[in-house]
Structure 1
Amino acid sequence: MSVFAKATAKRSARAAWTGLAIAGVSTLLLSACASGGTPSTETEEPGDDTAGDALPIEAGDRDLTLKVGTILPQSGTLAFLGPPEEAGVGLGAQEVNDADSGLSMEVVYRDSGDTTTDIATVSVTDLLSQDVSAIIGAASSGVSFTVIDQITSAGVVQFSPANTSPDFTEYEDAGLYFRTAPSDLLQGEVLGTQIADDGHSTLGLLVLNDPYGTGLAAATKASFEAAGGEVVAEELFNTGDSNFDAQLSAISASNPDAVAVITFDEAKVVVPALVGSGYPGDQLYFVDGNLSDYSADFAPGLIAGSKGTLPGPKLEDDFRDRLLGVDPDLADFSYGPESYDATVLIALAAYAANSTEGADIAKYLRQVSGGSGDGEKVTTFEDGAALLAEGKQIDFDGASGPITLDEHGDPTEATIGVYEYGDDNKYTRIN
């Protein structure tokens, strides 16, 4: 059994410890968020010699054709995330192919839909029939849970750029599931603390009843209450619901100082209804699932002063321009960096393994991310492939940050940005 396989076998037994470590470290760093910095998390198993875990890299030329599929939202309640995510994948594949390294990448794009449809299952079935080595997606945690067994049982890597449910950390996935988005244990802690730091003592929660929504709500509630606040309303709804009167009435009746709207595209319905009923628009808090440009959806100034959280560092102008080179019509860039990094990491792992078999790619994904191997820092596929061709170890730091995957396939370093809406109903980063 390889060292990687041994680490995977310990996955479930140590998952609870890792989750607590992430939450604990983020607590120590939250002051950076309040003072204008960006919180991050990093965990390492006590006594873990990551350099000693390194698998060997075969020096020499490569002749590999890597086929990757995507199940990203072209329709459904997260459709606004589809364009930046697909642009991130497209940019990554373009740069892999431009490197002329001996590895070429082909991407087959398919829709994930949302949990009200069976589109993801149909898409995965199609992609598996085309012998893809890896599938990037889904964006929705709920959607990923509907297909993760189908993908991993086929020996194919699943790599999500946006799944944030804590439940993936201990999921039995044969070591084939990875993500570049951090667990909502961190985002919830940042959001709850931000609400408390803004002077609010009571909080209402409107929550999508799926693994993403309930997981993020639980982390937000725990953080807010730890800061001395009280959650006075917690209303759930299901994907596909079109009437939210009962939930909004219950929240209004509790008269909270602030309301966290933990939804996807449903925010376009519930936010105008809540503000229209008299609730102040500047006391709302958004999350990554609905932090979007609402300039064409809401009346000017409707949510001016409201805030929201989104995983990821501040988007560099150069990377934004590169994404726009793939899709000039992009209006939102959420999870574009994470999608790019997932694509490049898959390609680097295939190059390191000198194989396009899903299981072989999975064995090297943690290593090329810097989670083991103590490799040389690189920020592009081209530079990484050049070192790998010399038989050297690498540590890829991407557009979304250092990443550094752990034995659970989770990133151990992450940043959560805090954003604020202006009179134009567009959001800008404030930390």
Structure 2
Amino acid sequence: MARRSLVRAAAVLGAASLALAACTSDNDDSSAAGDTTTAAGETTVSTDCTPEEATPGDTPVTTPLKVGTLLPDTGSLAFLGPPMVAGAQLAINDVNEAGGVLGQPVELIPGDSGDTTTDTANATVDRQLAAGTQAIIGAASSSVSLKVIDKITSAGVVMFSPANTSDQFVCYPDKGQYFRTAPTDVLQAQALAQLISDDGAQRVSILAMNDPYGTGLAANLEDNLTEAGIPSDQVQKIIYDPNAQSFNAEIDDIKNFAPDAVAVIGFEESAKIITRMHEVGIGPADGMAVYGVDGNMGNALGESVATPLLDTMQGTTPLTDVGAEFQQRLTAVNPTLIDFNYAGESYDAVIVTALAAEQAQSTAGRDIAANINSVTKDGTVCTSYAECLPLVQAGTDIDYDGITGKLDFTDAGEPSIGSYGKLVFDDQNTLTTEDFIVVGG
């Protein structure tokens, strides 16, 4: 794909990617199911499990479908809210224009998730459960999702996140009621390893923050690099405390290892790390091949590091080329939109929910959940609600390929295919998207 600038349509990667930490996980959530702590204090997440499956009810429910949103109108991720809210609303519009669900209009009940510093999400969920919602789209933040997932799933309501990427949810005891359209970080590790190995790296240092996001992504990246042919003794993995005053010792260890590529898996502290790497002559502007991830690959990093220290730094972030037509339809819903990140994922979450309800011939949350995975794979391909609805009504097994492309959900209720932008900084510390990397399936 030809090189293209990260215009405002994808500029949220600049303002947001340092905050995409919240779309993965925070330090205070390491106690979720499947988490362990090594003797060295390294937090890891297990994804080796048989995911729980939803149990449908005995009697179908045919009352109108109510879909709530648990998306950030306030808090540290408020800038991520508008495109996701617009995506959900556009999907509701399309569903209702095509005939609704079970012949009835779908109602959207908006709600704010806030962030982890408030109890906004709990209050929103309480209100939406009281209103009879059968599915809730959100949260954007994995940390927020972990605060309310038990309440939602125990109520037999579908929880469907458009932005959670943390591995913590793969094995979470969610009664089969939790789903996401954002690909897990297991897939991001594959994309990043492909990028690094395709560039010819033979000796790689991985510097990762110590939380389930950082250590999980680092462990998967290490495995994928060795699978790509790099000997295990040529891969160095260093786990650091993101709250440390300096990262000099870790960076000195990397310099002594003498790698030809370095992967930095972190958040806003990545600015200090890159600056220190330059001070010892191993930064991206010094000729070292340096790679980042969704937690740090954004223009916000460019603004935090002196020019041109990020020049040639590459990385990955979940990103789908949704196209100009979809963006135009979103701006018709919200003319003030300047960013579109996770709008496609929000749209698809609503469409998949509606199709699952139609296939179940029931709007009960447990019935919907029992049908979500199946409408995304192994059937007749259709790409819109209007196209899919008559197929479902005719009893046809469908495979919905949405705005974000092929989904093919796994048993854990998440895409088995991930699309990632290949991002590159130039000598002005400005980020561009050079290509897309699709992995999984």
Global fold match (TM > 0.5): yes
Per-residue CA deviation, residues 232-280 of structure 1 (Å, 9 max, x unaligned), is 4523346xx5xx4333552255325444333345556765676577652
Q: Which residue of 1 aligns with 2:205?
A: 203
Q: Is the 8 A contact 2:247 2:273 kept in 1?
A: no
Q: Which residue of 2 aligns with 1:110?
A: 112
Aligned: 1:261 with 2:264: yes
Q: Report the CA distance shift for 1:412/1:235 in structure 2 as closer, same or farther (over 3 A).
A: closer
**Counterpart residue type for residue 89 of structure 2:** G
Q: Report the CA distance shift for 1:353/1:121 in structure 2 as closer, same or farther (over 3 A).
A: same
Q: Report the CA distance shift for 1:107/1:360 in structure 2 as closer, same or farther (over 3 A).
A: same
Distance in 2 (alpha carbons) for counterparts of 1:309 and 1:127: 35
Q: Report the CA distance shift for 1:224/1:370 in structure 2 as closer, same or farther (over 3 A).
A: closer
Q: Is the 8 A contact 1:233 1:250 kept in 2?
A: no
In terms of mean alpha carbon deviation, does 253-262 or 314-323 score higher?
A: 253-262
- TM-score normalized with structure 1 length: 0.73
Q: Report the CA distance shift for 1:128/1:149 in structure 2 as closer, same or farther (over 3 A).
A: same
Q: Which residue of 1 aligns with 2:230?
A: 228
Q: Which residue of 1 aligns with 2:166?
A: 165
- One of 425, 428, 433 as aligned partner of 1:428: 433
Q: Percent identity?
A: 38
Distance in 1 (alpha carbons) for counterparts of 2:237 and 2:219: 13
How far does residue 169 in structure 1 lie from its aligned partner after superposition?
Answer: 2.4
Distance in 2 (alpha carbons) for counterparts of 1:67 and 1:268: 43
Gapped runs of 5+ residues in structure 2?
1-33, 35-46, 52-56, 437-441
Distance in 1 (alpha carbons) for counterparts of 2:308 and 2:371: 49
1:22-421 correspondence runs (5 A): 65-74=64-73, 78-101=77-100, 102-114=104-116, 117-200=118-201, 201-207=203-209, 209=211, 211-226=212-227, 227-228=229-230, 230-232=234-236, 234-237=238-241, 241=243, 244-247=244-247, 249-255=249-255, 257-264=260-267, 267=270, 280-281=283-284, 283-294=289-300, 301-370=308-377, 374=379, 376-421=380-425
Per-residue CA deviation, residues 86-127 of structure 1 (Å, 9 max, x unaligned), is 33222222222333433323131312414x554433433333
Provide the aligned C-alpha RMSD in A. 3.4
How far does residue 75 in structure 1 lie from its aligned partner after superposition?
Answer: 5.0
Q: Report the CA distance shift for 1:328/1:279 in structure 2 as closer, same or farther (over 3 A).
A: farther
Q: Which residue of 2 aligns with 1:27?
A: none
Distance in 2 (alpha carbons) for counterparts of 1:333 and 1:196: 30
Distance in 2 (alpha carbons) for counterparts of 1:262 and 1:79: 24
Q: Is the 8 A contact 1:93 1:107 kept in 2?
A: no
Distance in 2 (alpha carbons) for counterparts of 1:149 and 1:330: 33
Q: Is the 8 A contact 2:89 2:108 kept in 1?
A: no
Distance in 2 (alpha carbons) for counterparts of 1:430 and 1:84: 22
Q: Report the CA distance shift for 1:169/1:94 in structure 2 as closer, same or farther (over 3 A).
A: same
Q: Report the CA distance shift for 1:17/1:155 in structure 2 as closer, same or farther (over 3 A).
A: closer
Gapped runs of 5+ residues in structure 1?
1-11, 20-54
Could you say what secondary structure the match of 1:163 adopts? coil
Q: Is the 8 A contact 2:153 2:175 kept in 1?
A: yes
How far does residue 63 in structure 1 lie from its aligned partner after superposition?
Answer: 7.6
Q: Report the CA distance shift for 1:112/1:322 in structure 2 as closer, same or farther (over 3 A).
A: same
Q: Report the CA distance shift for 1:197/1:88 in structure 2 as closer, same or farther (over 3 A).
A: same
How far does residue 222 in structure 1 lie from its aligned partner after superposition?
Answer: 2.2
Q: Is the 8 A contact 2:70 2:110 kept in 1?
A: no
Q: Report the CA distance shift for 1:103/1:185 in structure 2 as closer, same or farther (over 3 A).
A: same
Could you say what secondary structure the match of 1:65 adopts? coil
How far does residue 191 in structure 1 lie from its aligned partner after superposition?
Answer: 1.0
How far does residue 64 in structure 1 lie from its aligned partner after superposition?
Answer: 5.2
Distance in 2 (alpha carbons) for counterparts of 1:125 and 1:66: 18
How far does residue 425 in structure 1 lie from its aligned partner after superposition?
Answer: 1.3
Q: Report the CA distance shift for 1:154/1:292 in structure 2 as closer, same or farther (over 3 A).
A: same
Per-residue CA deviation, residues 128-147 of structure 1 (Å, 9 max, x unaligned), is 23322112222333332332
How far does residue 157 in structure 1 lie from its aligned partner after superposition?
Answer: 0.6
Q: Is the 8 A contact 2:165 2:182 kept in 1?
A: yes
How far does residue 403 in structure 1 lie from its aligned partner after superposition?
Answer: 0.8
Distance in 1 (alpha carbons) for counterparts of 2:128 and 2:276: 40
Q: Report the CA distance shift for 1:369/1:309 in structure 2 as closer, same or farther (over 3 A).
A: same
Distance in 1 (alpha carbons) for counterparts of 2:92 and 2:271: 33
Q: Is the 8 A contact 2:275 2:283 kept in 1?
A: no
Count how many residue pairs are aligned between Structure 1 and Structure 2: 369
**Counterpart residue type for residue 83 of structure 1:** P
Distance in 2 (alpha carbons) for counterparts of 1:118 and 1:271: 35
Distance in 1 (alpha carbons) for counterparts of 2:71 and 2:429: 28
Q: Is the 8 A contact 1:121 1:147 kept in 2?
A: yes
Could you say what secondary structure the match of 1:206 adopts? strand
Per-residue CA deviation, residues 320-359 of structure 1 (Å, 9 max, x unaligned), is 3323333444444332222211111112222233332211
In terms of mean alpha carbon deviation, does 132-141 or 415-424 score higher?
A: 415-424
- TM-score normalized with structure 2 length: 0.72
Distance in 2 (alpha carbons) for counterparts of 1:176 and 1:276: 49
**Counterpart residue type for residue 135 of structure 1:** I
**Counterpart residue type for residue 173 of structure 2:** E
Could you say what secondary structure the match of 1:182 adopts? coil
Q: Report the CA distance shift for 1:246/1:118 in structure 2 as closer, same or farther (over 3 A).
A: farther
How far does residue 392 in structure 1 lie from its aligned partner after superposition?
Answer: 3.7
